[in-house]
Amino acid sequence: MSSAPTLASSQQAEIEETIKRIQTHKGVQGFILTSNDGSFVRSTIDNSTTMSLTGLIRTLSDKAKSCVRDLDPQNDLTFLRIRTKKQEILVAPDKDYLTIVLQANEQT
């Protein structure tokens, strides 16, 4: 796992605020915040799960971005939601970061 990049205090404050907001939502089981260069910024999930999940979700997110661009070159993927029987995986690709949130499926 790559070391966390050095962040400006304003970026760090923004990240902390986002994390607090995410954690207040019902059913949140964990989250991963990684920079687009592959460095892990924050995670509330164990390291091995963080690494494997991030690799898989990054690949899926890149494929989804490509698919959206193929359908409309002037469009871009802003959010990806994957619902399984047990949980939802919410993915927010950004210019600088990839945010992954694991949330309990309300149907379970």
> Would 106 be classed as within a structural domain?
no
Domain that holds residue 37: 9-98
| Residue 43 lies inside a defined structural domain of this protein | yes
Give the model confidence (pLDDT) of 36-71 as tens digits. 888 888 899 999 999 999 999 999 999 999 999 999
Q: Is residue 3 part of a domain?
A: no
pLDDT band of residue 7 (cuts 50, 70, 90) is low
Q: Is residue 56 in some structural domain?
A: yes
Q: Let me know: does 61 contact 98? Beta carbons within 8 Å.
A: yes
Give the tens place of pLDDT for each residue, 93-107: 988 889 999 999 876
CATH of the domain at 47: 3.30.450.30
Confirm whether pTM is higher than 0.95: no
Helix residue spans in 7-46 (DSSP H): 9-23
Count of domains observed in the chain: 1
